[in-house]
Amino acid sequence: MLDFLGDLRRTHMCGELRGGDAGAHVTLMGWVNRRRDLGGLIFVDVRDRTGLTQVVFDPERDSMLHAKAGGLRNEFVIAVAGKVAHREAKALNPGMPTGEIEVVAEDLRLLNTSDTPPFSPADAALPTEETRLQYRYLDLRRQSMQRNLELRHRVALAMRQHLASQGFLEVETPFLTRSTPEGARDYLVPSRIYPGSFYALPQSPQLFKQILMIAGTDKYFQIVRCFRDEDLRADRQPEFTQLDLEMSFPTQERVFEAVEGMLQAVWEAAGVAGVKGPFPRMTYDEAMRLYGSDKPDRRLPAMADVREAFAPEHLQTLNIAAGLPVLAIRIPGVGELSRRERDELKPLLPARSGSRLFEDAKRLEKSFPEAMRQVRELAAVAEGDLLVLVAGADFKAAGTLRVALGERFAARHKAFSGDIRHAASYDFLWVTDFPMFEWSEEDGRWMAAHHPFTSPHESDMEAVIAQRALGSVRANAYDVVLNGMELGSGSIRIHRQDVQAAIFRALGMTDEEARNRFGFFLEALRYGTPPHGGIALGLDRIVMLLAGAESLREVIPFPKTTKAVDLMVDAPTSVSEAQLKELGIQVRKSST
C-alpha cells in the first residue's frame, strides 16, 4: 500500500550530506538506486539528481520498518527520515561524495512503485542507444546525464548573465515565420485559417535579428531553437539550440571581443578557468593552405609545401606534374608503421581529389636522400614522427587525410587526449575572410557561401556592384573554431539596400524574385538601417565539448535519432483524415 507524504518535508538533496552533518535529523526523497540485504541490516542507496545517500535499516531498532524496507525494489520512489551518522572506518567509500556518512532510518514512506525497468539507471553498462532514447526518462535519471543537464543549465545561465552585463537585451523572435528558401529545406506548418498557405519554422533568426538592429535595439541576444530539414547525417539534429547575438555599429573586433568574453565566462561556469582572449586569427586562405580545412585543428602540426626540396628531375621521376604543391603531413610520436599500416593509409586520401599519396618516407629517402633531408627540415620532422607526402592541388583532400591520420593514431600522439577541465586543452581560433560566393555546378549559378545578408569586404564592393570576378570577392564573415570544430559562424551584415539588391542579382535572382522572397526586408533597409553584425554559436556543441561527450545526443534532453525520429513519443507519425481535411491537405502516397 502506498503512503502519502503528509506533513513530511524534504530537508536535503541526496548528494548534499557530509561528515559535518552527523547527528542531524534529515528527510530525503528520491528513487531506490540499489537495495542490499545482508541478512540483518538492509542498505538502500537513495538517488536524486544531486547524487546518492546510503540509508541503513536495522531490525533491532525497528523491525516493522526493516520489513517494509525489504519490499523495496529499484526505481521505487520513497521518502526516508532519519539521523545522519558516521560510517564505520571499514565502510567508508572515498569514491562517493557522501561516502563518509549514512542515514539511520527512522521513517520510510513508499510514494510509488515501479515496474521492472528495461534497464536500470544504476547500471554501469549501457543498453543500446535506441533503448535509451525510447525510455529517455529512465536514461535521464543516470548520474552522468543529470550532470550533463546541469552543465547545460550553467552554460546557458553564464551566457545570459555575461551578455546582460555587457548591455545586450534578450529578445524572442517568432517560430512561425515565412519560408525564405535559402540553405537547408524549411519545415513547413500549414495554416488552417488560410488554406494552401504555410508558415515555416526558422532555420535561424537571421532576418529578425537584423530587423531588431533597424529597430534600434542596439545589442540583442537569445538562446533560440532552430529547425532545418536536412538530409540525414550522423549526429545532426533537425532541431537544435544556438546562442544568437547581434550588435549595431560594430567593427569585426568588437564582435570578437563580445564573443571571447562570453566564452571565457562559459568555460569558467563549467569549471575551466584560464581561457584567455584575444583568440588567434587566421584567414580562410591561410587555413586552407596550412590545414586544408576552414575549421583547422591546430593541436596537430600544420601541413608544409615542400616542393622546393625536390629538383625538377626528381619530380619528373615521381610523376608529379609541374606546378603542383607537394604537401608534407606530420603526425608526432606515431613511430614506425608496419607495411600493413602503410597500405591502410591509402584509402584515407579521397580518391576524387586526383592527389597522390607517398606514404613510405623511408623508401623516398633511399632514392632522394638530400631532398628528404630538406623535407624533414621544412616540415620540422622529429624522430618517431609519421611523415607522408601528398602531391596535388586539392588542399582540402590533404586536410581530410591529415585529420584522418590524427584520429587513427590518436592513442600514440596523445594530442587529442587533454584534460577537459584544463584551459590548455582548448585551442580557440578565429577564421576570417571567407569567400563571398561559391559556384554551384548543379544549379549553374553563384551561391552565397555564408548567407546572402553577409557584407562583402569594402575593397571588394566594386566587383559586387559590377557583377564581375565574383569568385575572388571576400566576405566580411568569420567563424570561431575550437579543436577542429566550428563553434559559431557570423558576419558583418549588409545595411545598404543597393548592396543587398546587388548581392541578390549576383545570386541569380531577378529583382522581382528578390521582392517576392525578401520584400519585407528590402523595404526595412530603406529606413535608416545602421551598420550591424553578429554571430550564432551552437549551444549543443559547446556543452558536448565541455562534457567530454561523444555525441550531441548526450547533451540534448530529448534528441532525435540519426533518422530524425523521436523514439520516446514515436514521432513523426500520421494524423487523422479529419485533421488533414481541416487543413485542406491531401496526402499522396509515394510511388517508390
Place of cell 607522408: 388
> Is 305 contained in some domain?
yes
Shared domain for 26 and 87, answered yes or no, is: yes
Cα–Cα distance list, 527 to 283, 495, 498 (Å): 34, 10, 13
Q: Does residue 572 have a cis bond before it (omega within 30 degrees)?
A: yes
CA distance 122 to 76: 13
> Is 149 contained in some domain?
yes
Output the DSSP codes for 99-110.
TTEEEEEEEEEE
Shared domain for 393 and 444, answered yes or no, is: no
Main-chain dihedrals φ then ψ at residue 567, nearest 5 degrees = -70, -25
Domain boundary residue, one of 81, 112, 143: 112
CA distance 539 to 244: 10
> Is 108 contained in some domain?
yes
CB 242 within 8 A of CB 224: yes
Q: Is the dihedral of CA 56, 60, 64, 68 positive or negative?
A: positive
- Give every CB contact of residue 487 below 8 A, 6+ residues apart in sequence: 263, 479, 480, 481, 537, 538, 541, 542
Indicate the pairing of strand 187-190 with strand 169-170.
Answer: unpaired
Domain that holds residue 68: 19-112
- Give every CB contact of residue 529 below 8 A, 6+ residues apart in sequence: 213, 214, 495, 496, 497
Shared domain for 145 and 267, answered yes or no, is: yes
CATH number, domain of 586, equals: 3.30.930.10
Which residues are paired to 44 by β-bridges? Answer: 35, 55
pTM: 0.93
CB 306 within 8 A of CB 374: yes
Shared domain for 70 and 23, answered yes or no, is: yes
Cα–Cα distance list, 58 to 39, 242, 328 (Å): 11, 52, 70
> Is 37 contained in some domain?
yes
> Is 585 contained in some domain?
yes
Closest CA to 401 of 361, 362, 351: 351
- How many domains are there within the chain? 4
CB 434 within 8 A of CB 455: no
CA distance 407 to 412: 10
| Structure confidence at residue 181 (pLDDT) | 65
| Structure confidence at residue 323 (pLDDT) | 87
Say which amino acid occupies 334. V
| Structure confidence at residue 588 (pLDDT) | 86
Shared domain for 534 and 504, answered yes or no, is: no
- For the chain (592 residues), the mean pLDDT of every run of 10, in chain order, is 91 97 98 93 97 97 96 97 96 94 97 96 94 97 97 98 98 93 83 94 94 97 95 84 98 97 98 94 97 97 96 93 93 94 93 90 94 97 96 94 96 92 95 93 85 91 85 94 97 93 89 89 94 97 96 96 94 94 88 62
Q: Is the dihedral of CA 581, 585, 589, 591 positive or negative?
A: positive
> Is 352 contained in some domain?
yes
CATH number, domain of 45, equals: 2.40.50.140
Query: Beta-carbon neighbour count of residue 62 at 10 Å?
Result: 17
CA distance 433 to 421: 32
Shared domain for 255 and 328, answered yes or no, is: no
Helix H segments across 467-591?
Answer: 497-506, 511-524, 539-547, 577-583
Shared domain for 392 and 408, answered yes or no, is: yes
Shared domain for 306 and 230, answered yes or no, is: no
Shared domain for 546 and 523, answered yes or no, is: no
Place of cell 526586408: 521
| Structure confidence at residue 592 (pLDDT) | 59
| Structure confidence at residue 191 (pLDDT) | 95
Domain boundary residue, one of 415, 444, 462: 415
Helix H segments across 270-346?
Answer: 284-291, 312-317, 339-343
- Give every CB contact of residue 491 below 8 A, 6+ residues apart in sequence: 450, 451, 453, 454, 455, 475, 476, 477, 478, 533, 534, 535
CA distance 395 to 397: 5
CATH number, domain of 323, equals: 3.30.1360.30
Shared domain for 367 and 470, answered yes or no, is: no
Query: Beta-carbon neighbour count of residue 124 at 10 Å?
Result: 6
CA distance 48 to 42: 20
Closest CA to 336 of 309, 374, 363, 311: 363
> Is 422 contained in some domain?
no
Shared domain for 339 and 408, answered yes or no, is: yes
Shared domain for 503 and 446, answered yes or no, is: yes
Domain boundary residue, one of 58, 79, 112: 112
> What are the strands of the beta sheet with 356-358, ordered from one edge?
304-305, 326-331, 386-391, 356-358
| Structure confidence at residue 464 (pLDDT) | 85
CA distance 403 to 393: 18
**Per-residue b or e along 356-371, where b marks 16 or more CB atoms closer than 10 Å to that residue's CB:** bbbbbbeebbeebeeb
DSSP 188: E
> Is 451 contained in some domain?
yes
| Structure confidence at residue 352 (pLDDT) | 83
